[in-house]
Structure 1
Amino acid sequence: MALSIGDRIPLATLTTMTDSGPQPVESDEVLGKGTVVLFAVPGAFTPTCSDDHLPGFVLQADQLLAKGVDRIACIAVNDSFVLDAWGKARDVGDKILMLGDGNGQFTAAAGMELDASGFGLGTRSKRYAAVLEDGVVKDLFVEADGVGLSVSAADAVLATL
Structure 2
Amino acid sequence: MSILYWLIIAVVFAVAFIGLVYPAIPSVIFIVAGFILYGFLFSFSPYSYLFWLVEAVFAAVLFAADYVSNLLGVKRYGGSRAAIWGSTIGLLIGPFVIPVAGIILGPFIGAVCAEIFVHQKDMKSAVKVGLGSLIGFLTSVVAKSVIQLFMIGYFLWTVL
- Using structure 1 for the length normalisation, give the TM-score: 0.23
Larger radius of gyration: 2
More strand per residue? 1
- Using structure 2 for the length normalisation, give the TM-score: 0.23
Q: Which has the higher contact order (CA 8 A, sep 6+)?
A: 1
More helix per residue? 2
